[in-house]
Amino acid sequence: MDLFLQQLVNGTVLGATYGLVALGYTMVYGIVQLINFAHGEIFMLGGFGALTTFLALPTGTPTAVLLPMMLLGGVIVSVTVAVLMERFAYRPLRGAPRLAPLITALGVSIALQELVRNFYPEAKSARNFPQLVDPNRQFSLGGDVTINAPSLLTVVVAVVGMVTLSTYVRRSRTGRAMQATAQDPDTARLMGINTDRLIVTAFVLGAALAAVAGVAQGLRFGQVDFRMGFLTGIKAFTAAVLGGIGNISGAVLGGFTLGLVEVMATQYAPEPFAGGAWKDAWAFVVLIIVLVFRPTGLLGERVAARA
């Protein structure tokens, strides 16, 4: 039983990351029906932005200052790249056939990965990330079930981020405009909503959350890697679809569900298909199953109608 509960905790931690990144996919998709493939790279850049900030600050800076600064650094890098990407890669293609932006997204994704690999110092393989939050510090959750400090931080940060975002989307003017645009872009435009600005907002918000996830990931594993965005990105997209793409609560739910499924499958799948080597395969199997049996996702209904 403890093993099961422990896996539940592990799945939640994993799901928190997926959920944070999935929010970016879902917001952008909700407004422009674009699968922003490069969103995983934004997540990766968040990690590298934080690392850069860390390296730039003098040694001996107290953690209480360091951590927020790193977070800020990561967010700034991610948001800047996301805005540039929207402006120069995606916006000119609005109204183009569907394949064009998707292929562009693919190109942007490859280019960003390669930029980091080639031009970030010593980033050809994983780079060490400062372990500011001691991973050996364990908190007991009852019985033998524990969670270590960085993981706890990940979950806390994720929940704060998700709550903030959903409050923003539900309460603010811009947030309501986003919801309106997601439901009917044409009418929203007729009502005087500036879609261009909304799209940028969606990119910015998504990038900020992805950056947070990227920093959390770095703290948790003690390293960042130019490749870390690709798989996380695809899985986060899976999470967004799982929850019902375009639906913000759906992305969160999908993220946690996918995290749990992945962890549980690794633990409990029939031999010989259990174990870490099959982890990613299971995530994709879930994706395919979900799309086949419930293409609208767990919470989504709207998208199918607009297909």
The residues binding another protein (CB under 8 A) are 33, 35, 89, 92-93, 95-104, 106-115, 117-118, 186-187, 190, 230, 234, 237-238, 241, 272-273, 275, 277-278, 280-281, 284-285, 287-288, 291-292, 295, 307
Nearer to another protein, 104 or 257 (CB): 104
DSSP states of 177-240: HHHHHHH-HHHHHHTT--HHHHHHHHHHHHHHHHHHHHHHHHHHHSEE-TTHHHHHHHHHHHHH
Helix (H) or strand (E) holding 268: helix 248-268
Radius of gyration of the chain (CA): 19
- Give least dist CB 71 to another protein, A: 28
Say if strands 138-140 and 127-128 run parallel, antiparallel, or are unpaired.
Answer: unpaired
Nearer to another protein, 75 or 236 (CB): 236
Nearer to another protein, 124 or 171 (CB): 124
Is the distance from CB of 158 to CB of 16 less than 8 angstroms? yes
Both tokens of 160, joined, read: 């704060």
Q: Which residues, other chains included, contact 168 with Cβ-Cβ below 8 Å and sequence gap of 6+?
A: 174, 175, 205
Is the distance from CB of 201 to CB of 178 less than 8 angstroms? yes
- Give least dist CB 35 to another protein, A: 5
- Give least dist CB 135 to another protein, A: 26
Nearer to another protein, 59 or 119 (CB): 119
- Give least dist CB 117 to another protein, A: 8
Q: Quick one: DSSP state of residue 128?
A: E
- Give least dist CB 111 to another protein, A: 3
- Give least dist CB 227 to another protein, A: 11
- Give least dist CB 151 to another protein, A: 25
Nearer to another protein, 151 or 232 (CB): 232
Nearer to another protein, 38 or 198 (CB): 38
Beta-bridge mates of residue 138 = 148
- What are the two backbone dihedrals, phi and then psi, of residue 146, each rounded to the nearest 5 degrees? -135, 165
Nearer to another protein, 33 or 174 (CB): 33
